[in-house]
Structure 1
């Protein structure tokens, strides 16, 4: 039977498709639609929504009323105990903020972590390498812009095989699984970004690095 994920846009549907566990925590839940949809679809048995702003906290309480879930008013992993959840998601934040949350309480990070960062995605991939979490899958959901969605799983070995044999800088920047799959839409996005960067009169150091990496990938 095909599972339905109600009230979710394509971005959050793609996030939900990466999650299947018993107890799942979502940080920065906003309206908690992700948790409610995954409960309805049977992808999780219990949800924990964590919010540090009053209105989203109240929104989440309304959404999850009567569900096998709870809403906690806390800052990131301050609202979760070690071993309490099997899965964790953080969506719609910058990569720096995501890494800050994950690094604040590393002992509280569950075995499954799904991240949808809005920028600085390379920092999230680097967190996985440094923290013993392997990047087991990544995908792109198209909305207002392409949203990258990363799934990490805690591993017993330090080396992440996803990066084996690849240009490490390119893999951190654009994704090892994306590079290995080399799908047409991914290649077209690389070409479009390269054309945009080459048309600029001046490039920042970061933009110049991205240009150089794309040129290596497309060579």
Structure 2
């Protein structure tokens, strides 16, 4: 994927469909790479700030892409996109965007939260999306990339079905650190947990959330 950092390259690898919407498109580089590589046929870039909107318009000139100035999913019609991505925001903000217009969230969502990924995992459990893939990418820090799918059974019945990714796992640990990452438990994953444990133990005082994370890490390791 040309002109993408490692984080967005990993995001792009999770996307292949006809129409993809990127919420908070910034410079529009993700959609440009997806269109140029043939992974999508049409792109929709949505940005709520004027300068990033203009950046995306410039980047996507000549490509089959709409660039819209709008607040999150207000810029997308229900059923218009096959998948969406939201990258580089906190998990709480991402969930607010998704919850604002739940009928406009496509069946596939690729999410890269900068922090609090557990908030996005909790959103998926609440709304019936299944976490089908999660991986990491190195950059300024260790980024989490999450792929969610809405099962056809959920679409047909409107009922939320349990996500099999969490079956047999410590639910709190899986929400905080990822069910797929826990299940595969690579050396890199174990080292990242150990590094966080050393850091948290070095602090003179911990907030309640940090105490919780440390307790869970101790259980895992």
Q: Measure how far apart 1:200 and its partner are.
A: 1.5
The one of 162, 165, 186 equivalent to 2:165 is 162
Across the aligned residues of Structure 1 and Structure 2, the Cα RMSD in angstroms comes to: 0.6
**Structure 1 segment 70-85 matched on structure 2, within 5 A:** 70-85=66-81
Which consecutive unaligned segments of at least 5 residues does structure 2 have? 155-160
| Whole-Å separation in 2 of the counterparts to 1:70 and 1:56 | 14
Q: Give the CA deviation at 1:54.
A: 0.3
- Alignment-derived partner of residue 202 in structure 2: 199
Moved over 3 A (4+): none
Q: 1:128 aligns with which of 120, 124, 139?
A: 124
Number of residue equivalences = 214
- Give 1:186 deviation, angstroms: 0.4
Structure 2: distance between partners of 1:12 and 1:174: 20
What's the counterpart of residue 43 of structure 2? 47
2:177 counterpart (150, 159, 174): 174
- Normalized against structure 1, the TM-score is what? 0.97
CA distance in 2, matches of 1:200, 1:147: 23
User: Structure 1: which 5+ runs fail to align?
Assistant: none
- Alignment of 1:184 with 2:180, yes or no, is no
